Amino acid sequence: MLEKIKNYYKNPIWHNFRDVRFLGFLVFGVLTLLASWSGVNVIETNYELQKEIARIDQQNQVKQLANSNLKLQNEYYNTDTYLELQARKAFGKGAPGESLLLVPRDIALKHAQELPEVKAQQIATKTVQKPTYRQNFDDWIEFIFHRGS
């Protein structure tokens, strides 16, 4: 057993560990790997933070658009057009010189175009259920080739 250990230490690889230059190179390599790993972690963290910032900026833009939409809506509510439409709707009022024509319902419906009746059974037959794998494949093809439905 002692001979085995002696032969093991006579291997040329172990002589390298006695050399200061080799040990310095080994320590340098380990430190380089640690610094690289730390750098990769910093880059990954920065990437995640940038994604979060972009998401928050998009939310901020959506909120700003909603605010501007509400401002425009408030401006519309202050216009004479809106007030006139609401007066017509709520109180049955009109502009001076206007006359109101009341058409009986049966006469109005007599000249209206008839809409075909759609039965629930007809709707169900139009939407054919595909297997999940086939629907997934079709969705990917539609996405890749920009086919709109």
Q: What pLDDT does 120 receive?
A: 61
Across the chain, what does the average pLDDT equal?
Answer: 84
Closest CA to 49 of 60, 41, 65: 41
pLDDT digits (tens, 9 = 90+) for 85-123: 888 888 877 778 887 788 888 888 888 887 777 666 555
Cα separation values, 14 from 4, 30, 84, 94, Å? 14, 18, 97, 104
The answer on pLDDT for 148 being more than 80 is no
DSSP assignment of 76-109: HHTSHHHHHHHHHHHH----TT-------HHHHH
Per-residue tokens: 108? 């109005």
| Rounded Cα–Cα distance for residues 119 and 45 (Å) | 56
Tokens of 28: 């340098």
Cα–Cα nearest to 14, from 4, 6, 3, 24: 6
Average pLDDT on 4-33 reads 80
Return the H-helix or E-strand segment holding 111: none
Tokens of 111: 């000249």
